[in-house]
Structure 1
Amino acid sequence: GGGNDTSNETDTGTSGGETAAVDAEAVVQQKCISCHGGDLTGASAPAIDKAGANYSEEEILDIILNGQGGMPGGIAKGAEAEAVAAWLAEKK
């Protein structure tokens, strides 16, 4: 009997820069496609489907955090921003 596990494990995704806990694609679907388009080829904002061909992961993170052009900064923050930057950097 017994076996009641009462531990409340919460993964905030902020431990030591680990971004694996964040589903970057889900964040993109939630926060980016309304301007960048469902397939990221552009809408009211430029195409980002090949962002990694033009920007490094660090540059993409800077754009996410600080904005660029008509895009405001801080749409994604912390581990979410890092995960999205890494994901977009692979798009070439």
Structure 2
Amino acid sequence: MKKNPIIPYLLIMAFGLGLIFFMSIEGADNKADIAKSGDKAKTEQKAEDGAASGDVDPKAIAQAKCSSCHGGDLKGQVGPSLHGTGLKEADVKKILTNGKGTGMPAGLVSGAELDAMAKYISELK
């Protein structure tokens, strides 16, 4: 007796359609979380727009680019606390430009943002 070779493909298709259906239901239940991520994207855009216009708000930049690792209050989460580091502006600029270790990526901020962020972080108590 020969087996029909199309059956495995039909099973995979049915599984895929079921997965899509259940994932869409899960997404509908998480509207609030999706809205929050949209708000975060708006905050990042405002920080970038401020840097482009010359008005650099280091607090907004920190919330947009640093809070995911260093926490909303920058007192540490996955990454270390940025309060009371004792680093000078030049040291902070070097870390922001080149990164540090495997956890701190390089090039998160540049230009006028870099100067404002270095001053802001070095002054956190």
Q: Which blocks of at least 5 consecutive residues in structure 2 are unaligned?
A: 1-51
Higher relative contact order (CA 8 A, sep 6+): 1
Identity %: 44
TM-score, structure 2 normalization: 0.54
Structure with the higher helix share, 1 or 2: 2
CA drift of 1:12 comes to 3.9
Structure with the higher strand share, 1 or 2: 1
Match status 1:72 vs 2:105: yes
Tell me, what secondary structure is at the counterpart of 1:35? Answer: helix
Structure 1 segments of 4 or more deviating over 3 A? none
- Say which of 59, 78, 94 aligns to 1:25: 59
Aligned positions, number: 73
Aligned 1:1-92 pairs, distance under 5 A: 12-13=53-54, 21-51=55-85, 54-69=86-101, 70-92=103-125
Measure, in 2, the Cα distance between the counterparts of 1:68 and 1:12.
Answer: 29
Structure label with greater radius of gyration: 2
TM-score, structure 1 normalization: 0.72
